[in-house]
Structure 1
Amino acid sequence: MSSTWRAIGSRILTPGVSNAKLSVRGFHDKGPAARELLETAGRSFLRGYAIAAEARTPDEPEPRLELVPRRFRGFAYEGAAMAFAVRDALPFGRGGRTARFLAGSAARHSYLVHVGIGWAMARAPRFRWSRLLLADPLLRWLALDGYGFHQAYFHTHRYLRGQHRDQRLHWPPDGPSRYAERAVDQGVGRAAWFVGGADPEVVADLLDSFPEHRRADLYSGAGLAATYAGGADAAELRLLRSRAGAWRPALAQGSAFGATARVAAGLADEHTALATGVLCGRTPEEAAALCDRTRPPATAEVPEHPGVPSYEVWRERIAAAFVTDSGVTA
């Protein structure tokens, strides 16, 4: 692909910088601290995208991505993954950049890289999605999480307030077709944390407006965002846990995923510990160890659960660890 075509294609598909501002998106603003945190996460994503959009090779962005402050570095890698996936999906592209990026410098950010691919899916024609398939039967579902986040973030009225659900996604081609909707909902729940401005009352009101059969996935996504992105203090996290009610195990599962993403990348901080302490009753390292211990083999689907992706089996195992005799998280 020529540098000119790459620049034009990336420019067309790049979210505008103003989209990181809560006021532009019409999102809830609970105060300066949360606003700055969420907007900085968005700007870091776009910085990563810009770096990768013009990179000559998938290894080139690493030094510049590593200059992003620790708390926001994962978002920059997520944006870079979107850029490489967009380039893979563009006509005349050679493909394979995203896989090489993931196999190299971005390996420790694998959760965020897969989510970033989902952003590209939301901006690329579906007939080009086949160029974005990755081998991991577990984490590839996070691409649909990223797709759901993008749709709820940029089409908030339809996907979050209107509760729209895409039909017949059929991705990945060899996965259970009906599960795609659930994976997308996990991203919608994650986006709700940003739309709600990290205000647990606003976020919970959004999630509780959905039909009950969708709320476990939505609360899981919110738990991941509350842990990875942050923006809430201990009292607010306790309120989120209380509002989750019967879906507290799902909330804790999402929080454990968020902690694992930060621990694996060496980016766990005081807020990570605060969030997992409230939502999981564990340290980030303990939450990550639980995810590692319950993770099915990455080579195949779990045979004793036909029709259920190994990714969902994994999520259920994690959530089960947070269920007490009373049916709520410990």
Structure 2
Amino acid sequence: MTIMGKISRTLFGIPSERAVFSRPGFAPEAWTRFQPVAHSLVEGYHATLEDSRFEKLVPRLTAFAPELHGFAYEGAGMGIAALDIIAPWKDRLTAFIDGPAGPHIYPTYVGVGLALARLHKDPEKYLTRLDPLLGWVVADGYGFHEGFFRRRKYVDQRAVPTHLSPYARRLFDQGLGRCIWFSSGGLVDLVTSIVTAYPRERHADIWSGVGTACAYAGGATREEVENLLEIAHPYRSLLASGAAVASQGRLRAGNMAEHTEMACQIFGRLTARQAADVANSAQENLPFNMHKPAYEIWHERMQEHFSALSLR
């Protein structure tokens, strides 16, 4: 570990993953089902704080099982963003995305959002520095962090993050959906009771985040995922779109998981590769000068596809 790494770890390190998953409101199953996920993310974060040189960092990230690489890169994205906030002139993030994190850009950006929330920075002020399509993912990561570490306010009390723009609030809610899936240990009845306690106008985005987390991280049996679809059936196109994004990311990184394949088949009636093709096709010829973000248009196209598919 470098001298700067020791200082960074002391200043910005987070508690052990076991401590995080023992916070009030977390189901015991959250730890038993997602311990490897939590461990790879936290270790990826701390590894980056300790020594962010890519030749030292990447071997530590890829030492985990392949299906956990995305979470390790998420932690690394969090660490690199934190370091860039300390020393912005170095712009480590751009070099990381253009280099080893390219295949893991989505989870890396989620990690950036985690760092921005942790250091109390406005995620929307960073959008101009990020990919014009996927940059909005930082707002999702921001919401995930706030759901985990400010649970009383944003989950129990269901507060609205009024400091964000209306669209960023929607991505924030998608991050909350992912947080709810993890903190509930993938227990469908518990997830449902938490989601449905929010105002109805927030349900769609929260269920979208649930679908992404279920597909990317797993944690549930086939019967449980089928039960989830039955409960959230009005939002099926959102669940399917979330699964498609998860599949696209895993295929890009070369670490497809059985639970991602299963979620794509249940939510969207497609194989994981077919679902990823839907996500890829929806990205073609996206306009970037509209009144709405290209990221939203991308998701609308996927939802339209899955809505039409479910009618056949």
* TM-score of the superposed pair, with normalisation by structure 1: 0.87
Secondary structure, counterpart of 2:231 in structure 1: helix
Structure 1 residue 245 and structure 2 residue 233: aligned? yes
Match of 2:114 in 1: 119
1 CA distance for matches of 2:33 and 2:128?
32
Between 1:145-154 and 1:274-283, the stretch displaced more is: 274-283
- String of CA shifts for 1:94-151, please: whole Å, max 9, x gaps: 3310111111111100110110000110022437975675331211011010000000
Count residues with an aligned counterpart. 311
Indicate how the Cα distance of structure 1 residues 54 and 135 shifts in structure 2: closer, same or farther if over 3 A, else same: same
- Aligned pairs (5 A) from 1:24-63: 24-30=23-29, 35-63=31-59
Match of 2:167 in 1: 179
Match of 2:149 in 1: 154
- String of CA shifts for 1:159-199, please: whole Å, max 9, x gaps: 11211121133xxxxxxx32111111110011110121111
Residues 84 and 92, structure 2, Cα contact 8 Å, conserved in 1: yes
Indicate how the Cα distance of structure 1 residues 10 and 98 shifts in structure 2: closer, same or farther if over 3 A, else same: farther
Residues 148 and 185, structure 1, Cα contact 8 Å, conserved in 2: yes
- The residue identity in structure 1 corresponding to 2:276 is A
Residues 190 and 224, structure 1, Cα contact 8 Å, conserved in 2: yes
Indicate how the Cα distance of structure 1 residues 69 and 25 shifts in structure 2: closer, same or farther if over 3 A, else same: farther
2 CA distance for matches of 1:213 and 1:76?
33
Higher helix share: 2
- The residue identity in structure 1 corresponding to 2:106 is Y
2 CA distance for matches of 1:43 and 1:109?
18
2 CA distance for matches of 1:160 and 1:128?
20
- The residue identity in structure 2 corresponding to 1:28 is A
1 CA distance for matches of 2:311 and 2:198?
22
2 CA distance for matches of 1:161 and 1:128?
23
- The residue identity in structure 2 corresponding to 1:159 is Y
- Aligned pairs (5 A) from 1:1-330: 4-19=3-18, 22-30=21-29, 35-90=31-86, 92-126=87-121, 130=125, 133-169=128-164, 177-297=165-285, 301=288, 303=289, 306-324=290-308
Indicate how the Cα distance of structure 1 residues 329 and 220 shifts in structure 2: closer, same or farther if over 3 A, else same: farther
1:88 Cα deviation from its structure 2 partner: 0.2
- The residue identity in structure 2 corresponding to 1:122 is A
2 CA distance for matches of 1:295 and 1:203?
30
Residues 4 and 50, structure 2, Cα contact 8 Å, conserved in 1: no
- The residue identity in structure 2 corresponding to 1:42 is A
Structure 2 gaps of 5+ residues are none
Residues 17 and 38, structure 2, Cα contact 8 Å, conserved in 1: no
Residues 118 and 143, structure 1, Cα contact 8 Å, conserved in 2: yes
2 CA distance for matches of 1:214 and 1:128?
20
2 CA distance for matches of 1:114 and 1:318?
21
Indicate how the Cα distance of structure 1 residues 133 and 308 shifts in structure 2: closer, same or farther if over 3 A, else same: closer
1:322 Cα deviation from its structure 2 partner: 1.3
Residues 58 and 98, structure 1, Cα contact 8 Å, conserved in 2: no
- The residue identity in structure 1 corresponding to 2:157 is G
Indicate how the Cα distance of structure 1 residues 129 and 20 shifts in structure 2: closer, same or farther if over 3 A, else same: farther
Secondary structure, counterpart of 1:285 in structure 2: helix
- The residue identity in structure 2 corresponding to 1:46 is V
Residues 121 and 129, structure 1, Cα contact 8 Å, conserved in 2: no
- The residue identity in structure 1 corresponding to 2:275 is A
2 CA distance for matches of 1:22 and 1:124?
21
Indicate how the Cα distance of structure 1 residues 286 and 25 shifts in structure 2: closer, same or farther if over 3 A, else same: farther
Taking only the aligned residue pairs, the percentage that are identical comes to 32
Residues 58 and 100, structure 1, Cα contact 8 Å, conserved in 2: no
- The residue identity in structure 1 corresponding to 2:154 is Y
Structure 1 gaps of 5+ residues are 170-176
